[in-house]
Chain A
Amino acid sequence: MKEYKVKNIFIEGAIPPEKIAQSIANHQSKTGIGAHDIFLGQVRADEIDGKKVTAIEFSAQQEMANAVCHEIRETVFEKFPVHCMHIYHSIGRVGVGELCFFVFVSSGHREGVFESLPFLVNEIKAKVPIFGKEIFEDETHQWKVNK
């Protein structure tokens, strides 16, 4: 089994769309790759009891989150024919319409990415200690619950 270094998945604030473009560009030299797939999580303006969400503030046990992502990454490399994989998640405040979660998988062929991406995203949502606080227009809040 290949050994991968524990990476820091966290980015302060929103993930800029330019980072997604740059990540794609960074793979142009990896010519064994024939397929990429990307999941982007965006902050939604949910309306709850008549109040609209304007931002989500994320907190996390960051050391454990990075360690768990490392384990998930190793599982994905074992289970699927994936060449490379990148995971980024926001920490701190992210406004509605902005990106807070970026998962990027690359493989030789489409099957590798189509199969691995949902597994990877679902594992991260289920196992990584990140917590979202939904902030309303009047600065009151409620804690996000994943569906």
Chain B
Amino acid sequence: MKLTLKYHGRLTELFGKKEETITVTSNTAEALKQELEGLDIRFRENVYQLAQNNKIIKGNEILTAFDVDIFPPFSGG
């Protein structure tokens, strides 16, 4: 399925873009992480979290959205 990855914070610089649409086969958060890390070394070398529908997702949580946020560690405050 097509998935739009939305980068935030320092990841926008690391990837040189704010978002990109890619085709993935994964249907869970953990599977997507593995797939992304297989596609691009930058995912393996950086700490990031995934979110969909304004919630952090991990492990066996099912991907239901067409957009996934990719967050570096938060640094507000």
Contact = CB atoms under 8 A, between A and B. Distances in A.
Interface of A: 41, 58-61, 63-65, 67-68, 89, 100-101, 121, 124-133, 143-146
Interface of B: 6, 8-10, 13, 51, 54-55, 69, 71-77
B77 A61 contact: no
Contacts of B74: 125-131, 146
Nearest to B10: A143
Contact of B54 (A41, A64, A100, A133): A64
Instruction: Tell which of A68, A121, A129 has the most Cβ of chain B within 10 Å.
Output: A129
24 contacts: A41-B77, A60-B8, A60-B76, A61-B51, A61-B69, A63-B54, A64-B55, A68-B54, A89-B77, A124-B77, A125-B76, A127-B74, A128-B74, A128-B76, A130-B77, A131-B8, A131-B9, A131-B10, A131-B72, A131-B76, A133-B10, A145-B73, A146-B74, A146-B76
Main secondary structure on A side of the interface with B: mixed
A98 to B, nearest CB: 14
Contacts of A61: 6, 8, 51, 54, 69, 71
